[in-house]
């Protein structure tokens, strides 16, 4: 049996006010060690102010084959973008 430590996905908040971003993954025996390791592997140069770790097996992802059904519908809704509407210059910034 493999004694490999589980894989963790690492998310780092780069600066205050930003959201956490996925930066990569690493192996660790538990969440606490994953945070410690993430500090050494992904924030050696002040890249972060906060770390999230999620065990990779707990992440569900959309499949590439779903790309069409999931994202195509938003393509034909151009009116969701402000540039769809012409506003007369006279009324000023809007």
Partner 1 sequence: MYAQMVKADGKGVKSREEMDAEERAFQDKIDRDVKIEPKDWMPEAYRKTLIRQISQHAHSEIVGQLPEGNWITRAPTLERKAILLAKVQDEAGHGLYLYCAAETLGVSRDDLLDQLHSGKAKYSSIFNYPTLNWADIGAIGWLVDGAAIMNQVPLQRTSYGPYSRAMIRICKEESFHQRQGYDLITKMAQGTKEQKAMAQDAMNRFWRPSLMMFGPSDKDSVHSAQSMAWKIKINTNDELRQKFVDQTVPQAEYLGLEIPDPDLEWNEERQSYDYGEINWDEFYQVISGNGPCNKERLGARVKAWEDGEWFRDALTAHADKKAAKKKKQQQDAA
Q: What is the binding site for partner 1 (CB under 8 A)?
A: 2-5, 7, 24-27, 29-30, 33, 40-41, 44-45, 61, 63-64
CB atoms within 10 A of CB 67: 10
Nearer to partner 1, 16 or 45 (CB): 45
Q: Which residue has the tokens 């809007």?
A: 94
Residue with Cβ nearer partner 1 (18 or 67): 67
CA dist 15 and 86 (Å) reads: 38
Query: How near is the Cβ of 30 to partner 1 at its closest, in Å?
Result: 4
Shorter beta-carbon distance to partner 1: residue 45 or 81: 45
Closest distance of CB 90 from partner 1, Å: 43
DSSP string covering 3-40, please?
-PPPEEEEEEE-STTSPEEEEEEEE-SSHHHHHHHHHH
């Amino acid at each position: 049996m493999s004694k490999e430590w589980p894989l963790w996905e690492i998310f780092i908040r780069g600066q205050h006010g930003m959201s956490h971003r996925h930066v990569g993954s690493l192996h660790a025996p538990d969440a606490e060690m994953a945070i410690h390791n993430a500090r050494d592997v992904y924030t050696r140069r002040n890249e972060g102010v906060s770390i999230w770790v999620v065990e990779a097996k707990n992440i569900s992802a959309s499949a590439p084959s779903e790309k069409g059904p999931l994202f195509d519908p938003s393509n034909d809704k151009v009116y969701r973008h402000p540039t769809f509407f012409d506003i007369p210059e006279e009324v000023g910034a809007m």
